[in-house]
Amino acid sequence: MDGLIHQLISGIASGGIYASVALALVMIYQATHHVNFAQGEMAMFSTYIALTLIQAGVPYWVAFCITVPVSFVIGAVIQRVLMEPLAKAPVLASVGVFIGLLLTFNSVAGWIFTYTLKPFPTPFGEGKPLFGGFISRHELGSTSITLVVLLSIWAFFRFTKLGLAMRAAAFNPVSSRLVGVPVDKMLALGWGLAAAIGAIAGMMVAPVIFLDPNMMAGVLLYAFAGALLGGITNPLGAVIGGFIVGIIENLGGAYVVGTELKLTTALFIIVVVLTVKPAGLFGKTLVSRV
Amino acid sequence: MPTLLEVKALHGAYGESKVLHGLDFVVEEGGVTTLLGANGAGKTTTLRAISGMLKTQGEILFAGKPIQGMKTESIAALGIAHVPDGRGTFMELTVEENLRLGTYTRNDKAGVARDMARMFDLFPRLKERLFQQAGTLSGGEQQMLAIARAMLLNPKLLLLDEPSFGLAPLIVREIFDILGRIVRETKLSILVVEQNASLALAIADRAYLLETGRFVMSGAADDIRKDETLRRSYLGY
């Protein structure tokens, strides 16, 4: 029983990471109708930026607070420089850019930082697990940070004028321009936010799985499974999906398929969702009358 | 009356196919101007050209200032609100969010609150459906929402693209009654494009008749309405 609770809590902790990356995927998906395959590699690269700062003697939280806005800028610049010229290009052009970005970030990271696994510090302390040994300090800390990030993003989109304009620009760019919303800026902002969320997820997961240029490959797959499971058109659904995938992954890994085959659960979920319920659990089937 | 919008020798094309062949027209301050014409005459394209949605040649002056080549969102910010064909509803958002988007360019909270209240007075149905997903509104309600959203920009010029399109006659009547009220109660200038000429002429001061990208006729709306031969040969009623 203790083992089960422990696995469940670990599942929620890693689920939070998947939920963040899933949210980043959904944000870009809603604006462009494509999945940004490079989301994970961008997060990995941000994590290296943080590590470089920390190794240079910058305190953890200062490095954290520098990495997030730097990642935001990288994301926004990618949208402006690479994606915007492709706004009217066919689907394959965007997909090509995503894959190109994935490979570029991966190899540049390997070139600069080498492919060896590096430990990444946790800011929450290495001490004994808390609450009767069920949850490590890092799990508790990273889950809290993740929840704060997700809640702030939700509040931003729900309650601010800018958040509303960003949602509008994603749904209906033509009408958005007609009411004066600068759609291109909103898209760049969306990319920036997605990259910033990814950076936080990367920094939270790195202490657990160690940092290397391929660190986010598995995370991205789980996040994608989470996004599909919750519904790729529904940010809240994608977040819930991310948590569910984290729990399934941990329980499945411990009791069903074993750790070696854990990643296949992600693929299994993707295939099942796409064949049984393509809109996902919470995906909106849009009602419209003409 | 002073001129608000002046269009000179306007040419426009979608890629290779030319749609507008040198249009000259003006919209006066505080008046209703209508562009009439059949399907494919270039009415929608003319409005899109004003809003900077396609590449054009010629001159477009708004309040004496050239606006050609400006971004659509900057033109909107100058005070040109555009109710597009197909109504441009933000289907996934609520009615309230659709309306709030109309106020995007404004920072005067008191003015926004006043205009919002006025829209609920003009379109009480929108108030009833405030927190409903806009995609679930009927066509007529979406048209009302589109007009209200545009009016909330507090524009100087309102461009209306076929407000009667695809709607039952009763709803069309209701919408044109409200438009008539807006015209009487405000100093707003309106440029309305319509296939339904009798409706448009009833509220318009001035009319231009468009045929395959050229004006074949223009004049005071009253004169055109009274000219039976013209009505029969061009307007079909």
Taken as a whole, chain B contains a residue count of 237
- Which band of pLDDT confidence, cut at 50, 70 and 90, is reported for residue A86? confident
Please give the interface size between A and B, counted as residue pairs whose CB atoms are below 8 Å apart. 85
Across the interface, whether the CB atoms of A286 and B102 are under 8 A apart is answered no
In tens, the pLDDT along A195-236 reads: 999 999 999 999 988 999 999 998 999 999 999 998 888 888
What tens digit of pLDDT does each residue of B24-76 get? Answer: 999 999 889 999 988 888 899 999 999 999 989 999 999 999 999 899 999 99
Any B CB within 8 A of A176 CB: yes
A170 and A235 Cβ atoms separated by less than 8 Å: no
Give the CA dihedral A9, A14, A16, A17, nearest 10 degrees: 160
Residues 248-287 of A with CB under 8 A from B: 284, 286-287
pLDDT score of A3 more than 90: no
Predicted confidence at residue A70, as pLDDT, reads 97
Non-local CB neighbours of A227 within 8 Å, separated by 6+ positions: A22, A25, A26, A29, A35, A238, A241, A242, A280
Cα-Cα-Cα-Cα dihedral sign, residues A243, A246, A249, A252: negative
Give dist(CA A30, CA B112) in Å, integer.
29
Structure tokens at B37: 């014409």
The answer to whether A36 touches A98, Cβ cutoff 8 Å, is: yes
Cβ atoms of residues A225 and A266 within 8 Å: yes
Chain A residue with the nearest C-alpha to that of B80: A178
pLDDT per residue over A230-267, tens digit each?
Answer: 888 888 899 999 999 999 998 888 788 777 778 888 88
**What domains sit in chain A, N to C, each tagged with a CATH number?**
2-276 (1.10.3470)
Q: Does residue B101 surpass a pLDDT of 80?
A: yes
- Residue B225 to residue B96: CA distance in whole angstroms: 39
Question: How would residue A287 be classed by pLDDT, with cut points 50, 70 and 90?
Answer: low
What is the pLDDT confidence band of residue A120, given thresholds at 50, 70 and 90? very high
Whether A284 sits inside 8 A of B92 (CB atoms) is yes
Full set of structural domains in chain B with CATH: 3-235 (3.40.50.300)
> What is the C-alpha to C-alpha distance for residues A232 and B42, in angstroms, rounded to an integer?
39
pLDDT in tens, A33-60: 778 889 999 999 999 999 999 999 999 9
Rounded to whole angstroms, the Cα distance separating A278 from A266 reads 15
Contact B181, B188 (CB under 8 A): no
pLDDT at B237: 65
Segment B128-146, tens digit of pLDDT: 999 999 999 999 999 999 9
Which residues of A are less than 8 Å from B97 in CB distance?
164, 167-168
Tokens of B162: 């076929």
